[in-house]
Amino acid sequence: MTGSVPVRVTVADVWDTVPLELPPSTSLADLKREALLRTRVRHDPGEYVVKFRGAEMLDESVTLKDAGIPPNAALIVLPRRRRPVR
């Protein structure tokens, strides 16, 4: 895989979808930080998880290539713990 990988990342806190084009060597942790930064979510990235096809990506040090993230994949970044409804 060469070049960049286009992905769509939805950040659940704001329900915005961010289109990103990242090198295949980008870690999932870096993808999460970039998505949170672009949506102006100012919380600790450690409080969020990345999901792909409904499954939590447990090892965020893995690269997009090694995680098997295909071009134009849809990922979601959401809080690690559910928040109470007020």
By CB atoms closer than 10 A (0-12, 13-18, 19+), residue 28 is buried
DSSP assignment of 40-80 equals T--S-GGGEEEEETTEE---TTSBHHHHT--TTEEEEEEES
Instruction: Map out the domains of the chain with their CATH numbers.
Output: 5-79 (3.10.20.90)
**Residue scoring higher pLDDT (84 or 69):** 69
Q: What are residue 41's phi and psi, to 5 degrees?
A: -85, 120
78 vs 30: CA distance, rounded Å: 15
pLDDT tens digit sequence for 49-70: 999 999 999 999 999 999 999 9
Which residues have a Cβ under 8 Å from the Cβ of 54 and sit 6 or more positions away? none
What's the whole-model pTM score? Answer: 0.86
